[in-house]
A and B are shown apart, each in its own frame.
Chain A
Amino acid sequence: MKDPDTIGRLSGVSALALIMVMTLALVVGATAAPRGDSATVSDIHDTAVTIGPGWALIRESRVMDLVEGEQTIVLDRIPPEADLSSLSIRSRRVPLQLMEWARDGYTNVFRGAVSTEGDSVVWHPGSAQLPGASAVSRRVRCRIRSPLSWKKIGVDVMYVVHGPSWEARYQVMVRGEQAEEKEPVSVDFTGVVTIHNPTSASWDEAAVQVVGDPRAETRLPQNDPGFLMVDDESPLADLWRRKPEEAGIAHAYTLPGKVALLPQSTTDMSLVRTTRTPASRLYVMDASEVPFGTAGQGHPLRKFIVIRNSAANRMGVAIPPGRAEIFMGSARNRYLQEAWQERANVNDEIRIDLGPAADMLGWRQSLARTPAISGYYEETIGLQVLNQRSGAVLVEMREKPPLILEWAVVRTSLPNRGTGRSLKFLVEAEPGRRAKVEYQLRVRQPDL
């Protein structure tokens, strides 16, 4: 559309030229006619970004004037990576309908390496960008329908962008942990969520939420098993094939504060940071790690440092799973290992795995098998740990009876804290002594 200044200048030229221009315009028709009235809705008040593995859901609060019936609006700053099939415009006050939308500019894909520019055909050799093709427009022209008019109404513009991802990383520093375990142990726990934004989009002052269980992306090998893939029907292939992964439950984690997510950037957002959080020591005898019927010298238990994810410990936010680097000593002078921090809800325990403890040994054995009522027998199973340390320690025994037959617990020598088909016992092990737990099962004999 010609602006008033242009029309003013035209009024100064000769009448002949004006008539020619008008005549030509009549002949040419409306090929260059301006589009219908449209307002650009660019005033973004608030941005919320929800990031999952490989995508981000963007919600922008914008302000616009609504006209009753249909109107065309232009949304600017919609990044090229946005999936426009996910675009929606919603108002909490007015039921809006998004009828039709498209980017203002697009790439003309059929001119190939040549294009028409003015009166000529032009070839740009070696140009990766198609000549005359503009970059993908960030403006999206939308036709919307509203049942009523409304000045300055707030609307939510939502769309999905492909590319962004996130991961959680932790640094754990264990203080006061020495061989003798004479000093109280404490932990410095730092959690950071790293957001990768490989797109050309940026979001200022965005409230960020991350969603999903990134374990599958970061932990499991993604490689194909190799040449045996060539024959799916070979039974051998089964030995190499990774089993289908179960879908993880998508948990959401809201990150504190707001952040600017810049294009092609990686941003670290602090999730939790505590220092000198009081911790406790725990040894664990897990049935999956201590073979049944262990004879001789026993099997080492695993040592954990335990802190509570509570507000009292200046934590108290759900933390997502992620890689953890564990250091020993207050000066971070001893790198212990890289571990995996599981998801921890508020008030859950956070356990820091320090690895096998050679001076804490465990055994699992069958002690007796006696006939019971018809069709059943009873089996007594003993669990014991040997504490070769100089002080008393707390041991958690996670037990799963080594039976595939139907069974029920008849008796335990300590309270069973387990649920379902697992048993759990907490034992105080005195220095230089063995601590024992026994439990008795009634087992249904197979009808052979």
Chain B
Amino acid sequence: MRILHILGFAVLVYLASTPRSSAQDIEASAPKGVSISAYDTGLALVSEVRSITLAKGENKVRVRQMPARLDPFSVAFSPLGGPGFELLDQRFENDLTSVDRVFKRYLGRTVEVVTLAGTQKGALVSAPSTERGTGLEPLVLRIDDGSLKMYRVDDVVSAVLFPQPGGALVPEPTLFWRLNAGQDGPQRFRLSYATEGLTWSASYEAVLTENEVEAFLTGRVALSNGTGTKFDEARIKLVSTEKGSIPSADGSAAGPAMRYAQGASEPTFEKVVAGAAALQTYELPAPVSLANGETRYVQLLSVAKLPVSKVYEYDGVKFDRFQRNRRNDWNYGTEYSRAVETYLRFSNSVATGLGMDMPPGRLRLYRQKADGMMELAGEDTLPPTRSGTLVQLLLGPAVGLLGERERTGYSEITPLHEYEESFEIRLENNSGEDVEIRVLEHLYRWNQYEIVKADTDYRNAGAQAVEFQVALKSGGRRSIHYTVRYRW
């Protein structure tokens, strides 16, 4: 019996120590069954289940554990069984978003000012506005003896304490509802809302085996929770959109070119209007808990032995961007680069252990050496990849492979109507291994063309392009010659 008294007393102590809530306010339960659609624009659509116990008639309800960056207009709910209820009005409050707001709430209330000389208690008479810059106005306290004490905030005040915030503030993002219930009893409901601040990015790591025919591929997703609240055991669906692929205004990411609009003083991205609709979605394999302010990394996929192949390509011609529409310019397309590019190719199929939609993200490729050392072999961005497609990633110039592309002849067969051009492509393999190089040649002068002479087999490679496959032994060199005739 004595113990029961003690227990009862303890419960009363606990209830008294909880933040102040008006006597008639009903607390909604903590969220359960949370599911989140996280857009690549930072928008998150949250759906969760809560419960409340309502009394017949008008009820005042508090819904805590809401994001600070909630869009209050987006809040919607639907009763899950039960008699249901009707929303009369709603407000969203969070006083800790601004110091000025806290000061306003404490005007006339007791605060504590901490300085090097000690702590002074007193009723707040006036306070500086941080929005206009601190130090312009003093902080004024009325202390117990009735005198006023003024502080220049920027000089001497190291902290201002606002005690018992439950009595004056709404210290966490909270929804306040006025509801009308048809009858007494518990009520479960699904709450959904939109919030900003939940961002995600995908990245991949692939480790090539020493013989470079297999890779250990892992995909991971970084979830950054800047919403202002936590999410427990949330099922998360990632959503990629056209809008999310456009870099932010700070220009930190590569993206569309920037342009000056008529009369504008600053350049803007060429494409500023883009769809926010979901292009592709990816569901995380297991529920995730996200604390407020946390960045959490989650494994998205893992394939231990992914068959891969390396492809070498020499696409030598280098265009100046102002050389377009100069089909009869004798100098057109005579500059070239020497780099032979390396591509990594793999199939996103069930047979290879993948077979899933993969969100866009950076892929780092490592190479496992015989002594166990790892080296970074290249890096590229994986585009959004559907299941069943072939993936090809640019890893950068190949070490030891060299290409040269030189024009060896140019003639006007019929001035202004028919031209002929000859090229020599030279390849050199000092890589220490036998390789096969795909040589891509663009027939850029005009779309009516004919290869009139070629000393190596070739085949069409898309519009106005042909390709040659050249096998080169280690230490080997090889030249390709061809002549193309254009007519217009």
Query: Which residues does A use to contact B, with CB under 8 Å?
Result: 16, 19-20, 23-24, 27-28, 48, 50, 52, 57, 59, 84-88, 90, 92, 95, 97-103, 106-116, 119-126, 131, 156, 158, 160, 209, 211, 230-232, 235, 238, 243, 246-252, 404-407, 419-421, 444, 446-448
List B contacts of A158 (CB < 8 A): 366, 374
Q: Which of B146-164 contact A (CB under 8 A)?
A: 153-154, 157-164
**Known A106-B293, A124-B158, A238-B322; contact A420-B426, beta-carbon cutoff 8 A:** yes
Which of B158, B220, B222, B320: most chain A Cβ within 10 A?
Answer: B220
B375 touches A101 (CB 8 A): no
B364 touches A86 (CB 8 A): yes
**Known A235-B322, A249-B397; contact A125-B293, beta-carbon cutoff 8 A:** no
B404 touches A231 (CB 8 A): no
Residue in A closest to B362 when the chains form the complex, CB atoms: A85
**Known A238-B321, A420-B426; contact A100-B288, beta-carbon cutoff 8 A:** yes
List A contacts of B169 (CB < 8 A): 121
Give complex CA distance A31, B334 in Å.
70
List A contacts of B409 (CB < 8 A): 405-406, 444, 446
* Any A CB within 8 A of the CB of B299: yes
Instruction: A125-B157, A156-B372, A231-B260 are known; give 11 further A-B pairs, CB within 8 A.
Output: A16-B6, A19-B7, A23-B10, A85-B203, A85-B297, A99-B299, A110-B68, A116-B171, A126-B154, A250-B397, A406-B409
List A contacts of B165 (CB < 8 A): 116, 119-121
A52 touches B11 (CB 8 A): no
Q: List 28 A-B contacts (CB under 8 A).
A: A23-B7, A27-B11, A59-B373, A84-B222, A85-B222, A85-B362, A103-B294, A106-B295, A107-B293, A108-B293, A110-B69, A110-B96, A110-B292, A113-B99, A116-B165, A116-B171, A123-B99, A156-B374, A232-B259, A243-B320, A246-B337, A247-B339, A249-B397, A404-B330, A404-B407, A405-B408, A421-B406, A448-B412
A100 touches B407 (CB 8 A): no
Which of B218, B376, B397 sits near A88, CB closer than 8 Å?
B218
A interface secondary structure, majority: mixed
* Any A CB within 8 A of the CB of B391: no
**Known A85-B201, A110-B228, A232-B257; contact A125-B153, beta-carbon cutoff 8 A:** yes
List A contacts of B321 (CB < 8 A): 238
Residue in B closest to A142 when the chains form the complex, CB atoms: B297
Query: Which residues does B use to contact A, with CB under 8 Å?
Result: 3, 6-7, 9-11, 13-14, 68-69, 96-99, 102, 112, 130, 134, 153-154, 157-165, 169, 171, 201, 203, 205, 207, 218, 220, 222, 226-228, 257, 259-260, 286, 288, 291-299, 302, 304, 320-322, 330, 334, 337-339, 362, 364, 366, 372-376, 378, 396-399, 404, 406-413, 420, 422, 424, 426, 477
B7 touches A100 (CB 8 A): no
B374 touches A111 (CB 8 A): no
**Known A125-B134, A158-B374; contact A85-B426, beta-carbon cutoff 8 A:** no
Give complex CA distance A156, B226 in Å.
32
List A contacts of B404 (CB < 8 A): 420-421
List A contacts of B322 (CB < 8 A): 235, 238
A59 touches B374 (CB 8 A): yes
Residue in A closest to B105 when the chains form the complex, CB atoms: A121
* A380 nearest CB across to chain B (Å): 20
A19 touches B298 (CB 8 A): no
A123 touches B171 (CB 8 A): no
Which of A16, A109, A238, A247: most chain B Cβ within 10 A?
Answer: A109
List B contacts of A407 (CB < 8 A): 408
B294 touches A106 (CB 8 A): yes
List B contacts of A98 (CB < 8 A): 218, 220, 299
6 A-B pairs closest in CB distance: A110-B228, A406-B408, A23-B10, A406-B409, A447-B411, A102-B296
Residue in A closest to B331 when the chains form the complex, CB atoms: A404
List A contacts of B397 (CB < 8 A): 246-250
List A contacts of B408 (CB < 8 A): 405-407, 444
Give complex CA distance A97, B7 in Å.
47
**Known A23-B10, A125-B160, A211-B376; contact A87-B98, beta-carbon cutoff 8 A:** no
A106 touches B205 (CB 8 A): no
B13 touches A20 (CB 8 A): yes
List B contacts of A27 (CB < 8 A): 10-11, 14
**Known A92-B372, A114-B102, A123-B99; contact A446-B410, beta-carbon cutoff 8 A:** yes
**Known A112-B96, A114-B102, A447-B412; contact A120-B293, beta-carbon cutoff 8 A:** no
* B123 nearest CB across to chain A (Å): 16
Residue in B closest to A110 when the chains form the complex, CB atoms: B228
Give complex CA distance A353, B112 in Å.
73
Residue in B closest to A19 when the chains form the complex, CB atoms: B6
A86 touches B203 (CB 8 A): yes
Give complex CA distance A111, B229 in Å.
11
List B contacts of A59 (CB < 8 A): 373-374
List B contacts of A102 (CB < 8 A): 294-297
B413 touches A447 (CB 8 A): yes
**Known A231-B260, A447-B411; contact A121-B96, beta-carbon cutoff 8 A:** yes
List A contacts of B228 (CB < 8 A): 110
List B contacts of A123 (CB < 8 A): 99, 102, 159-160, 162
B130 touches A113 (CB 8 A): yes
A250 touches B396 (CB 8 A): yes
**Known A19-B7, A123-B99; contact A28-B14, beta-carbon cutoff 8 A:** yes
Residue in B closest to A133 when the chains form the complex, CB atoms: B293
A121 touches B171 (CB 8 A): yes
List A contacts of B396 (CB < 8 A): 247, 249-250
Which of A101, A120, A160, A444 sits near B296, CB closer than 8 Å?
A101
List B contacts of A131 (CB < 8 A): 159
* A136 nearest CB across to chain B (Å): 10
Give complex CA distance A248, B298 in Å.
34
List A contacts of B286 (CB < 8 A): 99
